[in-house]
Amino acid sequence: MRKTIADLTRGVYDHDAHADLADRGFRRYHPFSFDFDSTPLSLAEAEEHWDEPVKQNHRENRAQAIKRLEQQYGSAQIDSVIKNVTELGPKSMSLLAYHNQFHEQARRSFVAGLYYPALVAACALGERILNHLVLDLRDSFKSSEHYRKVYRKDSFDNWTFAVAVLTDWKVLVDGVGAEFLRLGELRNRSIHFDPDTYRSLREDALAALQRLNAIIAKQFGYFGLQPWFIDHTPGAQFVKRAYEAVPFVRAYVIPRSGFIGPLYGMDLSQGGWHHLDYADYGDGDLSDEEFATRYRERDPEKVVSRAMIEKAQLEAKPEGGV
């Protein structure tokens, strides 16, 4: 019997059953669960060389952004709030995981002028991410020389060791290990007593948050040239077939993805965004490059939509049926 997405209880999200699909060769994992904040980009002043309609639109967006900040942080220190938000910069797009909520709390502390809580939170979250990566992925590396040193541990506070382990396991994206170590230096200087912290508090908090944001953007992001995403698919990311079994991808990316073909669509409902797709793409096996080409060149009329599904359901009803 030919097994298709329609036969699965959770369809494109029934991850444990996708290996047996008849049209598996046409499908790739598409993550669509993310967190970001682009407010800082709205706070910049309009550029003189912009056309007047563009300037006016930007001014209106800026005024709305400032109003939202006043509602959230109050108006008494709004100039400081705007300065902090602007210098902090955008929160990079990231997969939804355990870090998002704490990252937001640390950023809000900085914006509100609570620099020491922001500094400590950023450093603590960096350590939490390191621990999660080691603990969540260690069972995939039982043959590693490091496994005997980590398999009984409940937590790790030696950042250099944790980064070395994750680097040897090839878990970290290029540059992430160095960012962790730089954040670790701030952590050691800030959490352990150092009188200089009083003088550099805001500067250190900002640096810690920016390093943390860089870690999240590179390791958990969508548009940072992560090696597991197929190239040349503008506006969307799809997991390369060869990376589906990579421990980090299997643990963090695939559970937040739909297993779709190149003609998939997206639908927004009360529960958020979810994927729409054909039940069966037929026989065949697309390479990643072929998948990217079909995605880029797909016919908009054939992209699955809610209206298309409802029409098909209506046509499938027997005459006189309800």
Tokens 């506070």 map to which residue? 157
- Among residues 16, 81, 72, 7, the alpha carbon closest in space to that of 43 is found at 81
Cα–Cα distance, 162 to 98 (Å, whole number)? 18
**Secondary structure class of 258 (helix, strand, coil):** strand
Output the pLDDT for position 94. 86
Tell me the pTM: 0.90
Q: What pLDDT digit, counting tens, does each position of 192-234 carry?
A: 777 877 888 999 999 999 999 999 999 999 876 799 999 999 9
Q: Taking a C-beta distance cutoff of 8 angstroms, is the pair 137, 171 a contact?
A: yes
Output the pLDDT for position 320. 53
Output the pLDDT for position 313. 80
Cα–Cα distance, 250 to 231 (Å, whole number)? 19
Bridge partners of 269, per DSSP, are: 272
Output the pLDDT for position 311. 86
Q: What pLDDT digit, counting tens, does each position of 111-136 carry?
A: 999 999 999 999 999 999 999 999 99
Distance from the first to the final alpha carbon of the chain = 30
- Among residues 94, 119, 84, the alpha carbon closest in space to that of 105 is found at 119
Cα–Cα distance, 40 to 87 (Å, whole number)? 8
How far CA 318 is from CA of 191, 298, 306, 315, 322, in Å, comes to: 70, 32, 21, 8, 8
| Token pair recorded at residue 55 | 């300037």
Low-confidence ranges of the chain (pLDDT < 50): 322
- Among residues 43, 109, 93, the alpha carbon closest in space to that of 256 is found at 93
Name the DSSP class of 144.
Answer: S
- Which amino acid, residue 8? L
Output the pLDDT for position 322. 45
